[in-house]
Amino acid sequence: MKTVITELNWAKGNEILTKVGEIIYDPDLWKKQDLPKVIQDADVLIVRNQTKVTRLLLQSAPGLKVIGRLGVGLDNIDLQAVKDRNIALVCAKNANSISVAEYVFAVMFTFARHPAEATVSVKQGYWDRKRYTGAEIYGKTLGLIGIGEIGTRIAIRANAFGMNIIGYDPFLPPYELATSDFGVKLASLEEVISCSDFISLHVPLNKSTRYLINKQVLKLAKPTAIIINSARGGVIDEKALYEALVSGKLAGAALDVLEREPPLDSSLLELNNIILTPHIAGLTEESQIKTSVMVAREVIKVLNGEPSSCLVNM
């Protein structure tokens, strides 16, 4: 069995795969021209979010049986092409959800208390306690757009902080929510945007969510609201977001994901009321060990004809 891993992976997963066959591991392969050549005799292809798994790329791997996704977002994979070829697709369901949830709290607290900015001012010789008077997140309203694996984990933690939680997710199976179990009051997109102090996005990027947060939607937000996007860049219209942040229609934004990564010359880079991180919300040592082991084990299960709970239904 030959496995090709085209992006960064943690050693534990690679060790498991090495025991059952040959592995080619090159964290930069996703951007190399010889990618199609390297995968031509592969049985398994393991990717993260940078490898573009197109129909054309799949044509260069006629014997491909399984694709493993070291994460959960599938927007870099042509799902129809995978289905047409009858290739199995497994993802690391849940493995980074806690990390993303904790990232959301990290940025909420940063906006509420400004610890990094205050540190800079103390290092510069200031002791400006009045300027760094913060705000509590207790009693504030958190609006979740998408209440899946990540959204529910955020809700559980937000409850512990005494936040009010509202959420929009039109695709939840009715039995599942009981969102009251997680303290989430379901509402329309418009209600969630207009009532929230913090708005956090947790939807996949697809046709229904591209530019879900656009100029019209942003108009509804409180001028004091903070928007957090750790889902995918294309879910927010960045031009509309820039205008809202510059004109004071929105107080701030934290973006872990952008339409173009890295953003290079984006006007968002000029703003002070923004936190920008390089797609690291789900990237912790714990989540990545879990991810690499989960994908390796599940790929092997699929190859052995055993059932896998990480198989993507297509």
Ligand X SMILES: NC(=O)c1ccc[n+]([C@@H]2O[C@H](COP(=O)([O-])OP(=O)(O)OC[C@H]3O[C@@H](n4cnc5c(N)ncnc54)[C@H](O)[C@@H]3O)[C@@H](O)[C@H]2O)c1
Ligand Y SMILES: O=C(O)CC[C@@H](O)C(=O)O
Amino acid at residue number 72: V
The 10 Å Cβ neighbour count of residue 247 is 9
Q: How far is the CB of 168 from ligand Y (least distance, A)?
A: 20
CB of 151 to ligand X, least distance (A): 6
Catalytic residue among 69, 153, 202, 232: 232
> According to CB under 6 A, which one of 94, 96, 141, 209 is a site residue for ligand Y?
96
279 as an active site residue: the answer is yes
- Which of 193, 187, 183 lies closest to 157 in space, CA to CA? 183
Secondary-structure breakdown of the chain: helix, strand, coil percentages, each rounded to the nearest 5: 35, 15, 45
Can you tell me which of 35, 42, 48, 205 binds ligand Y, judged by CB under 6 A?
48
Contact flag: residue 48 with ligand X (CB under 6 A): no
Q: Which of 61, 124, 53 is nearest to 91 (CA)?
A: 53
Between residues 64 and 91, which has the closer beta carbon with respect to ligand X?
A: 91
Nearest to 162 by CA among 178, 140, 145, 144: 140
Question: Annotated catalytic, 202?
Answer: no
258 lies in the binding site for ligand X (CB under 6 A) = no
The footprint of ligand Y on residues 59-88 (CB under 6 A) is: 70-73
Task: Based on the shown chain and the rule CB under 6 A, indicate whether residue 299 belongs to the binding site for ligand X.
Answer: no
Element (H, E) at 144: strand 141-145
Binds ligand Y by CB under 6 A, chosen from 240, 282, 296, 303:
282
The greatest distance separating any two alpha carbons of the chain, rounded to the nearest whole angstrom, comes to 65
Alpha-carbon distance 288 to 15, whole Å? Answer: 14
Which one of ligand Y, ligand X, none interacts with residue 209, CB within 5 to 8 A by kind? ligand X
Question: Packing angle between helix 285-303 and helix 11-18, nearest 10 degrees?
Answer: 20
Instruction: Compute the distance between CA of residue 12 and CA of residue 218 in angstroms, rounded to an integer.
Output: 43
290 binds ligand X (CB under 6 A): no
Asked whether position 47 contacts ligand X by CB under 6 A, the answer is no
Quick check: 51 binds ligand Y (CB under 6 A)? no
Looking at 13, 148, 234, 252, which residue binds ligand X (CB under 6 A)? 148
User: Which residues make up the interface to ligand Y (CB under 6 A)?
Assistant: 48-49, 70-73, 96, 279, 282-283
List residues with catalytic annotation.
232, 261, 279
